[in-house]
Amino acid sequence: MKRKKQIFLRAGYTMISKLGKRRKKKRKYRKATGIDNKVRLKKRGHLRNVSIGFRNEKEIRGLIEGLKPVLISNVEELKNIKKNEIAVVGSVGKKKKKEIAEYSLKNNIRLLNLNPKKFLEELEKSRVPLEIKKENVKEKKSEIKDDSKELNEKESKENEPEK
């Protein structure tokens, strides 16, 4: 199906840190232009220069694992996915992402950039039970009331005229 993709890198990337020595994110392709540059001269044992013939076939181009990527942002778009397509979840909030994850688990649809099982587990762990939240709110309210009563009493004592 797909042949191994040729990696093209800039000449001298193995020698200088800012070009990518031990720093993979810095590695980019730049055309070799030096007078005696071995890459430009196509010497054996050196890097390859970009040239015609390395591009993939038209049918394969842009596919991910043989499947066409489709950007989705809600469950309706996920329902329209065909057999030869793979879903890519767009930038959506937790609520819609949860709906998408549940639907994909139920209907066995594969998502490229989201593991639905793991996402739902983490969501459940992070969720604080409602009862605990309510208790905390009640405690805070009672503390605030007590504090306000004490302040009012102090103010009233200070405002009273001395006898």
Q: What is the pLDDT of residue 10?
A: 94
Asked whether residue 162 is assigned to any structural domain, the reply reads no
* Alpha-carbon distance values, 58 to 68, 69, 88, 128 (Å): 13, 15, 21, 50
Domain that residue 93 falls in: 68-126
The answer to pTM > 0.85 is: no
Q: What is the pLDDT of residue 156?
A: 76
Instruction: Tell me which of 11-15, 105-109, 141-145, 159-163 is least confident.
Output: 159-163
Nearest residue to 91 (alpha-carbon basis) of 118, 109, 73: 73
* 147 & 106 share domain: no
pLDDT band at 37 (very low <50, low <70, confident <90, very high): very high
* 44 & 82 share domain: no
pLDDT digit string, tens, across residues 40-57: 999 999 999 999 988 888
